[in-house]
């Protein structure tokens, strides 16, 4: 099969992790007889350096013409990078938010799974992770605090900043439907996370989620307050299947969920709209402190490429093969530095990519 894929390496460790993921995709093509046509595009700081803006119409057009986008990471060191001298709407992250909005990628899937091989790297006590965990954060990605009106102003010599958290019922309904649909294919449980004891937006969220749940009697729904959820994730992560939540809560909880898998370098993600198209990226950031040093863990990006094969290209068998190759390499004891534990072999970014390719 022939497919068009846009690669957006981005900033920091982005180029090196995307390079390894492409290597694995090339291996998939060779093994299964597919042709992927690639086009490279810029985003974030890389785009600012070339075009003066963090996202161009050309990058959006390229993404729109493709079956899927595989992205690295966006952003730099805010304390030292000149990108952060620009006004907020021209900084690298604004490009990421814009591409999510322009492509209507409202559903962000972030699976967090405990590999048996990485138990040693998990910061939780062995008795807590005895039965493992396999959860998926379904994060709303194009609404809430990220996209509400914001301003900073001075009044009578006092500076004030405002961010607005807005959701309408349609935005809540479509992400809830995605959450229940995917729960149906998993353990049939949705934990809807909100702050309904304080926020109006959360009270509407809860009401709409309950309406949607009525269409899925086979899926169990529970509601959980976000502060409790943050606590439950480290107390008993095995209780979760699909965690359905709004944009900001999902951002925070997904970092927490990734860390309990052993490292933030393990967590893949898919951002989807109503069609088969998707943008795939690791959930971690651009780690400018280790960029270009062959230290970054490429596994989250390689697993994101596997999600791309599965969700946008309908290549389930190929996706399984990539995921199994990752497992095999971990079983063989190879680790990047972030997931390193005693008795294992520490390898760099490039070597990890090669090993996964070899085990396809
Ligand atoms: C993520 C990141 C982004 C977000 C940043 C870089 C804007 O943290 O994808 O989780 O907050 O969504
Ligand atoms: Mg984040």
pLDDT at 1: 80
Q: Three-class SS of residue 323?
A: helix
pLDDT at 264: 87
Q: Three-class SS of residue 119?
A: helix
Mutate to test the pocket of ligand 1, among 97, 150, 264, 285 (most ligand atoms within 8 A of CB): 285
Backbone CA torsion sign across 278, 281, 285, 289: negative
Q: CA torsion, points 233, 288, 69, 89, in degrees to nearest 10?
A: 90
Instruction: Look up tokens 């993404």; give the residue.
Output: 63
Residues having CB closer than 6 A to ligand 1 are 74-75, 93, 96, 251, 283, 285
Q: CA torsion, points 287, 262, 108, 134, in degrees to nearest 10?
A: 170
Mutate to test the pocket of ligand 1, among 93, 106, 107 (most ligand atoms within 8 A of CB): 93
pTM score: 0.95
**What is the number of alpha carbons within 13 Å of residue 160 lying toward its C-beta?**
7
Residues of the chain with pLDDT under 70: none
pLDDT at 278: 98
The closest of 160, 154, 152, 112 to 261, measured between CA atoms, is 112
Contacts of 155 by beta carbon, 8 Å cutoff, 6+ apart: none
Write the DSSP assignment of 39-106 as a string of letters.
EE---HHHHHHHHSSSS-HHHHHHHHTSSEEEEEE----TTT-GGGGS-GGGSHHHHHHHHHHHTT--
Quick one: which H or E segment has residue 19?
helix 14-32
CA distances from residue 4 to 1, 19, 271, 273 in whole angstroms, order as listed: 10, 17, 17, 18
pLDDT at 81: 96
């Amino acid at each position: 099969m022939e497919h068009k894929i846009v690669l957006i390496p981005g900033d920091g460790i982005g180029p090196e992790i995307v390079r390894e993921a492409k290597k694995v995709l090339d291996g998939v093509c060779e093994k299964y007889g597919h042709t992927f046509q690639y086009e490279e595009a810029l985003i974030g700081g890389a785009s600012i350096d070339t075009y003066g803006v963090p996202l161009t119409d050309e990058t959006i057009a390229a993404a729109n013409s493709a079956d899927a986008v595989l992205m690295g990471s966006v952003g730099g060191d805010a304390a030292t990078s000149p990108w952060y001298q620009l006004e907020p709407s021209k900084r690298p992250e604004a490009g990421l938010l814009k591409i999510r909005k322009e492509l209507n990628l409202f559903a962000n899937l972030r699976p967090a799974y405990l590999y048996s091989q990485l138990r040693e790297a998990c910061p939780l006590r062995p008795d807590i992770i005895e039965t493992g965990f396999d959860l998926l954060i379904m994060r709303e990605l194009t609404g809430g605090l990220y996209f509400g009106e914001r301003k900073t102003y001075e009044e009578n010599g006092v500076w004030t900043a405002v961010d607005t958290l807005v959701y309408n019922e349609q935005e809540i309904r479509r992400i809830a439907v995605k959450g229940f649909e995917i729960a149906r294919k998993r353990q049939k449980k949705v934990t809807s996370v909100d702050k309904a004891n304080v926020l109006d937006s959360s009270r509407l969220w809860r009401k709409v989620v309950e309406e949607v749940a009525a269409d899925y009697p086979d899926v169990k729904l529970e509601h959980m307050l976000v502060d409790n959820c943050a606590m439950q994730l480290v107390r008993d992560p095995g209780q979760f299947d699909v965690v359905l939540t709004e944009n900001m809560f999902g951002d925070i909880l997904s970092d927490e969920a990734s860390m309990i898998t052993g490292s933030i370098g393990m967590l893949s993600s898919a951002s989807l709209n109503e069609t088969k198209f998707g943008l795939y990226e690791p959930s971690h950031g651009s780690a400018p402190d280790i960029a270009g040093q062959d230290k970054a863990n490429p596994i989250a990006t390689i697993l994101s490429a596997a999600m791309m094969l599965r969700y946008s290209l309908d290549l389930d068998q190929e996706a399984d093969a990539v995921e199994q190759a990752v497992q095999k390499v971990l079983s063989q004891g190879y680790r990047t530095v972030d997931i390193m534990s005693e008795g294992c072999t520490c390898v760099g970014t490039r070597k990890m990519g090669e090993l996964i390719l070899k085990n396809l």
